[in-house]
Amino acid sequence: NMLLGRELQREMGREPQVVMTLPLLEGIDGVQKMSKSLGNYIAVNDPPDEIFGKCMSVNDELMWRYLDLVLCRSEDELARLRREVDAGNVNPRDVKLDMAEEIVRRIHGEDQARRARENFLRIFSRRQTPESVPEVEVTVISGEAIAVLDLIMSAGLAPSRSEARRLIEQGAVRIDGRRVGDVGEKIVLPAEGVLLKVGKRRFARLVPA
């Protein structure tokens, strides 16, 4: 169809346009094409830590597609890396770490890429909190309990209340390291604040306004 379009352009006295076809990049699920509507995408305006974490979530086989289609690694380099991984000389996780850092670097710059890598290793390898956690002031009445669901929304760590509820039900919400098990749970926000963790990569320190 595309080549036929070039012929039609000639028939109409116009210069035929160049036709290029490119492979579709699979999303981070490794199944469907990358799409915002499918929720398997990496957005260029995502925060550095989010991009890094999403890159690290792709499976080892899909990693080679990203190295090829996103970072445009040469066939020779990809073949060499594959041989090293297959021989057990290189851990595919290390290849993926370098890939994630390079993708973040191209979007957010050198410093943010390095920090995203350090944060990822701190959270997932050393089970620590990120180097820099945003502080969010929450308006509360002194001594009055506030719903954890409301705290998540105040911190902007979930796109909707239904998503925040789902995360709590899945055990993906922690306050100062303690897992929140009840959707209706309320806490009294202490003067020194609390560390709220939602999912694997989202953190905020909540303090009374």
* Domain extent listing, the chain: 2-125, 135-208
Instruction: Name the CATH superfamily, with its identifier, for domain 2-125.
Output: Tyrosyl-Transfer RNA Synthetase (1.10.240.10)
Query: Long-range contacts for 19-27 (Cβ within 8 Å, ≥24 apart)?
Result: 23/69, 25/65, 25/66, 25/69, 25/70, 26/62, 26/65
* Residue pLDDT, tens place only, 73-82: 999 999 999 9
Q: How far apart are CA 29 and CA 58, in angstroms?
A: 7
Instruction: Name the CATH superfamily, with its identifier, for domain 135-208.
Output: RNA-binding S4 domain (3.10.290.10)
The label of the residue with tokens 């039900």 reads: 169
The type of residue at 123 is I
* Residue pLDDT, tens place only, 33-57: 999 998 899 999 999 999 999 999 9
Q: How buried is 201 (Cβ within 10 angstroms: 0-12 exposed, 13-18 middle, 19+ buried)?
A: buried
Query: pTM of this prediction?
Result: 0.64
